[in-house]
Chains A and B, each alone.
Chain A
Amino acid sequence: MTGAVLVRELRRSFATTTAVDGASWSAAAGTVTALLGPNGAGKTTTVECLEGLQRPDAGSVQVLGVDPWHAGPDLRARVGVMLQEGGLATTSRPLPLLRHLAALYAEPAPLDELVERLGITGFERTTVRRMSGGQRQRVALAAALLPRPDVLFLDEPTAGLDPHARLEVWDLVRAEAARGACVVVTTHSFEEAERLADRVVIMASGRVVADGTLDDVRAGRTLEDVYFALTTGAAR
Chain B
Amino acid sequence: MSAVAPDRPAAAPARRRVLARASFETRILLANGEQLLVSLVLPALALVALTVSSVPDLGPGARADLATAGALALAVVSTAFTGQAISTGFDRRAGVLRLLGTTPLGRGGLLTAKCVAVLSVLGLQVVVLGALGGALGARPQAGGILPLLVSLVLGSAAFVALALLLAGTLRAEAVLAVANLLWVLLLGLGVLVPTDRLPGALATVAALLPSGALGDAVRTAFVDGGWPWAQWAVLVGWGLVGALLARRYFRWSD
Which residues of A come within 8 Å of B, CB atoms? 51-53, 72-74, 76-79, 81, 83, 85-92, 96-97, 100-101, 103-107, 143, 147-150
Contact = CB atoms under 8 A, between A and B. Distances in A.
Contacts of B100: 87
Interface of B: 5-6, 8-12, 14, 16-17, 20-21, 23-24, 27-28, 31-32, 90-91, 94-96, 98-106, 252-253
A70 to B, nearest CB: 12
B16 A149 contact: no
A101 B25 CA distance: 12
A147 B104 CA distance: 10
Contacts, number: 103
Contacts of B27: 96
Nearest to A51: B102
Contacts of B21: 100, 104
A90 B101 CA distance: 17
Q: Which of B14, B21, B103 has the most CB of A within 10 A?
A: B103
B11 A107 contact: no
**Main SS at interface, chain A:** loop
B96 A88 contact: yes
B20 A104 contact: yes
A106 B7 CA distance: 11
Given A103-B16, A149-B9, 16 more contacts: A53-B101, A74-B104, A76-B104, A77-B11, A77-B104, A85-B94, A86-B94, A87-B96, A88-B99, A91-B31, A100-B20, A100-B23, A105-B9, A105-B12, A105-B104, A106-B9
Given A53-B101, A86-B95, A107 B23 contact: no
A88 B12 CA distance: 21
A80 to B, nearest CB: 9
B27 to A, nearest CB: 7
Given A53-B102, A73-B104, A106 B11 contact: yes
Contacts of B104: 73-74, 76-77, 104-105
Contacts of B9: 77-78, 105-107, 147-150
A76 B24 contact: no
A236 B53 CA distance: 65
A81 B99 contact: yes
Given A51-B102, A52-B102, A100-B23, A105 B11 contact: yes
